[in-house]
Structure 1
Amino acid sequence: MAGNACLPRKRSLRWLPSVATCVGLIWAASAHAQIGSARYSSIVVDAATGNVLEDVNADQPRHPASLTKMMTLYMTFEALRDRRISLDDTVPVTGHAASMEPTKLGLVPGTRLTVEEAILGLITKSANDAAAALGEFLGGSEDRFAQMMTLRARALGMSRTTFGNASGLPDPDQWTTARDLAILARHLINDFPSYYRYFSVPSFTWHRRVIFNHDNMLRTYPGADGLKTGYTVASGHNLVTSAVRGGVRLIGVVLGAGSNSERDIHMAALLDQSFTQMDVPIGRRTAPQPRMMLIASARAAEAPARPQALPQPPAQAARLHQAAWTIQVGAFGTQAAARTAAANARRLADGGDIRVEPVTVKRKPVYRAQVVGLRPSDAQEACTALNRRKTPCVIIKPVLRDVASR
């Protein structure tokens, strides 16, 4: 357990743990829980009672990445509940907000978006520019908003959490724990039942573009209805999920996984194990049906406003959008160089998994650096950002693997 020695004070409200002291090589309690990462943490709790059903290194400091946006959303929902803002209020876009790294909506300085559009951008796209704009709107500046976030987190019982920004982009002063994130998830669910439904939105339309939710658990794990994914190089692949079965709601947190697929599979296993522990039948693993209309109708009486279920594209187009697209950022003479290039591209894509593909060219081995498992819009945005940095990038479509753009 992380003691006070791991939480030295640094300026007001900020602390920087000694990683060498506080984050050692982690060996999980069982072969089931160990996923081979020194930054791995997990916890599963009963949402109704807060009882812990499983935890591994749940109090060790970790970088939250885009899970930070859960706190940004909590602050937004709180302002909505208290009628300090409304869903139709417009949020100004500053140069600071527009300058955020991808993933982003592509906001332009001097324009505006509504509070509801910003909420949907955070939940589906994990948009860093929308998060910064909301932070400035609610706090006057993003730095001040981060201080507000930290104060509110501590009041909620998140004693080991310090926020540095509204988005989760890398900040050496930004830390949390699996246990603190479970506390935050419980509060999002229990404090704002009429706004929590946003986490189930499968997609929304932004400037005539359909943006799909990054959270694969909504589509693959029966009963899952939110919350958030996250990734940075320092944090690894993070996930907070809530699921309901047999009238029992569980909240799971997985931090530091090696890939999106590993993270999702591990989360499903932890939730299955915990449901079984509570004598809730697991049942057959089938893809859940869309839940947005069910949630909205069940909570219509208490919801002050409701996002409309968006028309989905035709079946063929939907399958194309949901397929695994790939970007390729070059071929290299060594596997290490290819992996470094793929990791840099993965950071811009904010999704997908790194793949180094060995091939032989003119009898010499080379290694293709790729990021796989992307949605088409994410692949396009990543390649656009890489091309701006003079980095070659091609998009490879699924199945046919045609080159779609340079």
Structure 2
Amino acid sequence: MRSSHRVRLGAVAVVLLSCLLLTIKTAHANPRYAAIVIDVESGDVLHSANADATRYPASLTKMMTLYMLFEALERGDLRLDSPLPVSAYAASRQASKLYVKAGSTLPVETAIQALVIRSANDVAVVVAEALGGSEENFGRMMTDKARQLGMPRTTFRNPNGLPDAGQTTTARDMATLSIRVMQDFPQYYHYFSQTRFSWNGQTITGHNRLLGSYPGADGLKTGFIRASGFNVATSAVRDDRRIVSVVMGGFTAASRDAHMADLLDRGYVRLSMLQRGDWIAQADVFGDRMELPQQPSSPTPAVQVASAEPASTVSLSSALQTRLTESSTEPYGRADAEMGSADDPLRDLIARAEAPQPAGAWAVQVGAFSNADQARSLASRAAERLASQVNGGRVAVAPSEGEQRVYRARLVELQESEAHSACNSLRQQGMDCMVVAHY
């Protein structure tokens, strides 16, 4: 290694080690603190601090409420212009709220915007009652869905995150949910980047300041109750690489946002170093060294809800699910690994960098549907738009496992650079998409 390269890496190591000490000090001073940073493409956990410790989700809960609403839209149970009835109970929920009136109705699209932008607790109950009949039953449905999505440590009691001692989660589970929302419903993800909407002649603005302050941030959700502190789940894209991060337990909204920006910055630094194969990238300089609890050997039994529709089981991409699962038992990038052992981090890094990728191991996903024909139609439209750009790719409809299947619309058998270029082209033409591993 050249001398100048050693100097550069040494300087980076000093900076990152300083950040480590600051992070540990913050975590010890704030018992509500938890955070995780994930490279969505590979599933690598770039930072983890108390990621599996029990926390209150607050309004991050509404991401699950929205997930289930998106499912209803794709099943055809609702349309964006379908009216949702407002009950007296829903209208009585405490702020933050849209102040909908009992006896009125609310269009589904407005409900989506109210949940994302206003974080409206009353509207969350409107959605819960429309989909589950009651808030209590919908909470059971949400918990059931959490188990199916790979969120074993999350329990929901209500659709909005208002205080309930039984409504708990972890930073890792909230990151999983964030990724699933993007991967399973890219056609609706654009709502998470919106910062305002119109309602009854008024312009309603949102709470998510990171959308305007952090370059590349394009969603997801903020949250706060007194017991949780200030929470946020954020997705950002830089150089065609997407990172999802969750911060829980901030003292103020401003300090939470500043910490999130810092974690994203450092996440991209570490990701860049991993991609270049730099040795320092494998050291655990981003967070605590706690051994995370082992995942249960079998999933927590799903809650049976007699009145609920059979829920779909949709798996994450194999690479991402593997990394998320592995990181819950073996924190990624342990600094104290024995260099001569089988889990030598430097040797693992070199092996990963030198291992050839299968040809055409990447895909562009443009949507997920309950109907295979709809999925095939959308994938075909995407292929037509890319006819002059993509060579060798083909349309594929990938079904999930489970009682009620969901079909992913994809263009598959692409090279990684080709997939990124194709997705960028589709975005420029107004079509949402996501690059995923397709082994």
Alignment-mate amino acid for residue 143 of structure 1: E
Give distance in 2, aligned partners of 1:54 and 1:213: 28
Paired residue for 1:348?
Answer: none
Distance 1:34 1:89, change over 3 A: farther
Give distance in 1, aligned partners of 2:259 and 2:426: 29
Deviates more, 1:74-83 or 1:261-270: 74-83
Give distance in 2, aligned partners of 1:162 and 1:274: 29
TM-score for both structures, normalised by structure 2: 0.58
SS in 2 for 1:169: coil
Paired residue for 1:290?
Answer: none
- The partner residue of 1:30 within 9, 13, 21 is 21
Paired residue for 2:421?
Answer: none
- The partner residue of 1:120 within 109, 113, 126 is 113
Paired residue for 1:221?
Answer: 214
Give distance in 2, aligned partners of 1:213 and 1:52: 29
Give, in angstroms, the shift of residue 300 of structure 1.
3.6
Which of structures 1 and 2 has the larger relative contact order (alpha carbons within 8 angstroms, sep 6+)?
Answer: 2
Give distance in 2, aligned partners of 1:80 and 1:302: 17
Distance 1:139 1:34, change over 3 A: farther
- 1:383-394 paired onto structure 2 within 5 Å: none
Contact preservation (8 Å) 1:197, 1:296: no
SS in 1 for 2:46: strand
Alignment-mate amino acid for residue 183 of structure 1: T
Give, in angstroms, the shift of residue 301 of structure 1.
4.4
Alignment-mate amino acid for residue 76 of structure 1: L
Paired residue for 1:203?
Answer: 196
Q: Deviations over 1:241-299 (max 9, x none)?
A: 0000001000010000100011000000000000011118xxxxxxxxxxxxx999647
Give, in angstroms, the shift of residue 32 of structure 1.
3.3
Paired residue for 2:92?
Answer: 99
Give distance in 1, aligned partners of 2:195 and 2:161: 22
- 1:2-401 paired onto structure 2 within 5 Å: 30-32=21-23, 34-35=25-26, 36-279=29-272, 298=428, 300-301=430-431
Distance 1:298 1:130, change over 3 A: farther
Aligned residues: 264
Q: Which runs of 5+ in 2 are unaligned?
A: 1-18, 274-423, 434-439
Q: Deviations over 1:311-348 (max 9, x none)?
A: xxxxxxxxxxxxxxxxxxxxxxxxxxxxxxxxxxxxxx
Give distance in 1, aligned partners of 2:429 and 2:74: 15
Give, in angstroms, the shift of residue 80 of structure 1.
1.1
Give distance in 2, aligned partners of 1:186 and 1:48: 10
SS in 2 for 1:32: helix
Give distance in 2, aligned partners of 1:85 and 1:125: 22
Alignment-mate amino acid for residue 30 of structure 1: L
Contact preservation (8 Å) 2:62, 2:159: yes
Give distance in 1, aligned partners of 2:197 and 2:24: 35
Alignment-mate amino acid for residue 160 of structure 1: R
Q: Deviations over 1:116-167 (max 9, x none)?
A: 0000000111000000100100111111111000000110000000000000
Give distance in 2, aligned partners of 1:199 and 1:33: 31
Give distance in 2, aligned partners of 1:242 and 1:297: 17
Find runs of 4+ consecutive structure 1 residues off by over 3 angstroms.
Answer: 294-303
Distance 1:297 1:112, change over 3 A: farther
Alignment-mate amino acid for residue 120 of structure 1: Q
Give distance in 1, aligned partners of 2:203 and 2:179: 30
SS in 2 for 1:252: strand
Larger radius of gyration: 2
Contact preservation (8 Å) 1:200, 1:226: yes
Contact preservation (8 Å) 1:29, 1:56: no
Distance 1:208 1:296, change over 3 A: farther
Instruction: Report sequence identity in percent.
Output: 48
Give, in angstroms, the shift of residue 47 of structure 1.
1.4
Contact preservation (8 Å) 1:170, 1:232: yes
Give, in angstroms, the shift of residue 83 of structure 1.
1.6
Superposed CA RMSD: 2.1
Contact preservation (8 Å) 1:202, 1:213: yes
SS in 2 for 1:86: coil
Give distance in 2, aligned partners of 1:228 and 1:236: 14
Alignment-mate amino acid for residue 45 of structure 1: I
Contact preservation (8 Å) 2:426, 2:432: no
Q: Which runs of 5+ in 1 are unaligned?
A: 1-27, 281-293, 304-406
Contact preservation (8 Å) 1:194, 1:299: no
Give distance in 1, aligned partners of 2:426 and 2:96: 28
Give distance in 2, aligned partners of 1:225 and 1:231: 20
Give distance in 2, aligned partners of 1:140 and 1:102: 22
